[in-house]
Amino acid sequence: MLRLTVLLLILLNGVYFAWSEGVLRGLGYGPAQQTEPHRLAQQIKPELIRVLTPDESRQLELAARPDAKPTQCLQTGLLTAAVSAKLRAALEASSWPADAWRLEPVTVPERWIIYMGKFQNAELQARKRGELLALNVKLQPLSLTSLQPGLSLGAFETQAAAQNGLKDLTARGVRTARVVQERPEERGDSLRLPAVDDALRTRLDDIKTLLAGEPLRACRP
């Protein structure tokens, strides 16, 4: 009786092994196959899975530190080619992590304005400002000191758009205004520091000395 029991157990183990390995699948017996789509379907929201960028990985790593302050993204405005080259050489020769900074090419578009001036004095400028406000003409700050004392009646990215704006103002009774270029198109680089942590904050002064007066600001979205 004992020998029969042992033989029966061996037989059952052999049948289970054959079933689990798929040997009996041809007879219609076998475990359900786990295909790649099936495994993906069992995940929780697999469509949300994505590969993190180096910046995101660095920010997550820093955020995991219990005593770490929030990181900050900083960037400059347009840097000239000379400033950019000097800055790149300095950063590459320094101990700044390679993923902690980058120089990105940027283009600042040209800027055209509808201009009125120069006036002989501030009193004439103020009088003309009052006349324009009475016509519901919105004035904008004038950035070029070489055009002062004067008034800007609107800013545009193209000369054609500025000329169209001038036609509209002329139809509303504005006289003696003209279109001038306030700024030509400029190309250069912008320094971006995507995740400034406590350690890097203490070294910002080293970078600021190389920026030729260009400030570091919070990154634009």
Region at 151 (left for phi over 0; alpha for psi -120 to 50; beta for the rest): beta
| Residue range 150-207, pLDDT digits in tens | 999 999 999 999 999 999 999 999 999 999 999 999 999 999 999 998 888 888 998 8
| Residue range 109-131, pLDDT digits in tens | 999 999 999 999 999 999 999 99
Is it the case that residue 64 has pLDDT exceeding 70?
Answer: no
What values do phi and psi take at 181, rounded to 5? -85, 120
Question: Can you tell me the distance from the alpha carbon of 96 to that of 54, in angstroms, rounded to the nearest whole number?
Answer: 15
CA dist list (Å): 108 to 102, 149, 175, 180? 18, 25, 31, 17
- pTM for this model (two decimals): 0.54
Tokens of 152: 């800007």
Average pLDDT over residues 87-114: 92
Average pLDDT over residues 34-47: 56
CA angle 146, 163, 113 (to 5 degrees): 25
Question: Can you tell me the distance from the alpha carbon of 166 to that of 143, in angstroms, rounded to the nearest whole number?
Answer: 19
Tokens of 203: 């070294």
- Bridge-based pairing of strands 72-75 and 217-218 is antiparallel
Q: Which residues touch 12 (CB under 8 Å, ≥6 apart)?
A: none
